[in-house]
Chains A and B, each alone.
Chain A
């Protein structure tokens, strides 16, 4: 028989588990169950939820369109300094989102390096708009997608791409018909992570896009706002976000992580 588990490890482990789970349980305990349905279908919650889903989904699309090719370049391109590029791509992953928001403002703001030209030439102003929300979310969430897809690409056997080449396929056709399908699990996992990260985005969004109900107030911003004026609404919004997170995790586990 194995000896008993050492108390020195078991006690902090249980404390750690409680630390992670008790706040979530508290959220459920304190929930205003009676008024929940009305809260849930109130105009403010519905607006914030819709805006969140739309912005997170659009941000995910942006990440897919830009991130998958970037992952491919990092995994397959013969670039000098590829390691450095890979490290740079992951910076937004560890960067405080507020800093990301400030950086976006500096570049895309009205007086920003790029933003002033957008404003002058096209009359486009991104900060404090719904498009700004999408950009802020995409900036923060893209590394999740890139890392996931790049990992899958690097694990995929490049000889299949050579086989496709000997059959006369161009690199673009090979990418579409051979490479992409073979890394699909990685792309899906990355997309889900990316979407979940975008949905929960707070710091960069509030810095770059501000807080205008109906335009830029996404769920996390609404939670923060409601906490001061209507704590019950904050709890309801939080529970919705918690459920979405759990659903994402469950979906990932069953479909892609174990498989």
Chain B
């Protein structure tokens, strides 16, 4: 059965209004910048905050306190109970819901075995590594077989090397989980890898929603475009000309009409010391406002009409002897530009 949630939270200077639907077995990622209301949404769903109405299977949980909701939560820093053994942590929810001790322990041990940590049943949580603690937190949240699983930044507390491994493990466990999953994250990679569908939240409102593939290809806000690393503009198309809202005109290959979004990757942008000649390209003058070194490329921030991000090779940086304030010529092939209606 599809889960429907209506979240309405009002606070001074902030309001959250979010409608969510999650299919059984589906993983939905709630993605957004800090302060967008992601954690508030999760807390409202869990019943830790008022304003989370959920309906599932014809029954509605509205105004129900956290302990009465069939929800499992994996918290950002896991919040394992330090004075209990790992097994007692996992069995805690079952015991709290009235399962007898022997049975609760048996179920908890099975859950631990599923995450490969049966051997750690009798140690205290502080003896676990970050990745193991995360798996225990997942086992604990799933032990009571909740209908809705909530994950709050489940990978944020891990270092980069364990993150990769834990992410793929988490993906496997989520794929096995038959209930509804909501993943709250600000990391686009976690969202893309783990989720079937992305819901992007800004200032308490949904600004975009869709499969990871659709979101990556056609961002609808600056935040999303920044997340997926694309140059992003709004403009009005007339044939193969787009007049950009913030100034500048681009020539595109595929004709379009009306208000459009315009995107192209920073790697499609080339920089030249003087105006390039020939070839049907977009060229305009711009000034370097920032330079940032990435793994294999250099990202250059340019002010101009329009402002643009360019990824260039280190060789080009050396050749151009780039400095902030330098005036350069930007060039961009029309075929690299992708437009879609607003």
Contact = CB atoms under 8 A, between A and B. Distances in A.
Interface of A: 157, 159-160, 162-170, 173, 177-178, 181-182, 184
B82 A166 contact: no
Interface residues of B, number: 24
B81 A178 contact: yes
A166 B92 contact: no
Given A163-B79, A167-B141, 16 more contacts: A159-B79, A160-B81, A162-B48, A165-B65, A166-B46, A166-B47, A166-B72, A167-B72, A167-B144, A168-B67, A168-B93, A169-B93, A170-B96, A177-B84, A177-B92, A181-B81
Nearest to B76: A159
A165 B67 contact: yes
Secondary structure type dominating chain A contacts: helix
A167 B79 contact: no
Contacts of B75: 159, 163
B194 interface: no
Contact of B96 (A159, A160, A169, A182): A169
A167 B140 contact: yes
Contacts of A169: 67, 92-93, 96
B11 interface: no
Given A159-B79, A162-B66, A167 B46 contact: no
Contact of A168 (B48, B79, B82, B96): B96
A166 B97 CA distance: 11
A173 B98 CA distance: 11
Interface in B73-103: 73, 75, 79, 81-84, 92-93, 96-97
Contact of B93 (A167, A170, A184): A167
A166 B96 contact: no
B44 interface: no
A168 B73 contact: no
B42 to A, nearest CB: 10
Contacts of A160: 79, 81
A159 to B, nearest CB: 6
A11 B193 CA distance: 70
Contacts of A178: 81
Contacts, number: 63
Contacts of B73: 163, 166
A164 B92 contact: yes
Interface of B: 46-48, 65-69, 71-73, 75, 79, 81-84, 92-93, 96-97, 140-141, 144
B103 to A, nearest CB: 15
B255 to A, nearest CB: 54
24 contacts: A159-B79, A162-B46, A162-B48, A163-B75, A163-B79, A165-B47, A165-B65, A166-B47, A166-B67, A166-B71, A166-B72, A166-B73, A167-B72, A167-B96, A167-B141, A167-B144, A168-B67, A169-B93, A170-B96, A173-B96, A177-B84, A177-B92, A181-B83, A181-B84
B100 to A, nearest CB: 15
Nearest to B80: A163
Contacts of A157: 79
A178 B48 CA distance: 17
B96 A164 contact: yes
Contacts of A168: 67-68, 93, 96-97, 144
Contacts of A159: 75, 79
The 4 A-B residue pairs with the shortest CB-CB distance in the complex, in nearest-first order: A167-B93, A165-B66, A169-B96, A163-B79
Nearest to B70: A168
Contacts of B144: 167-168
Contacts of B47: 165-166
Contacts of B72: 166-167
Nearest to A169: B96
B125 to A, nearest CB: 11
Contact of A170 (B46, B67, B69): B67
B88 to A, nearest CB: 9
B85 to A, nearest CB: 12
Give the interface centre of A165, A169, A170, A177 by most chain B CB atoms within 10 Å: A165
Contacts of B96: 164, 167-170, 173
A167 B92 contact: yes
B299 to A, nearest CB: 37
Contact of B66 (A166, A181, A184): A166
Nearest to A160: B79
Contacts of B84: 177, 181
A229 to B, nearest CB: 52
Give the interface centre of A166, A177, A182 by most chain B CB atoms within 10 Å: A166
Nearest to B72: A166
Nearest to A177: B92
Contacts of B67: 165-170
Nearest to B73: A166
Nearest to A171: B67
A170 B92 CA distance: 12
Give the interface centre of B81, B84, B140, B141 by most chain A CB atoms within 10 Å: B81
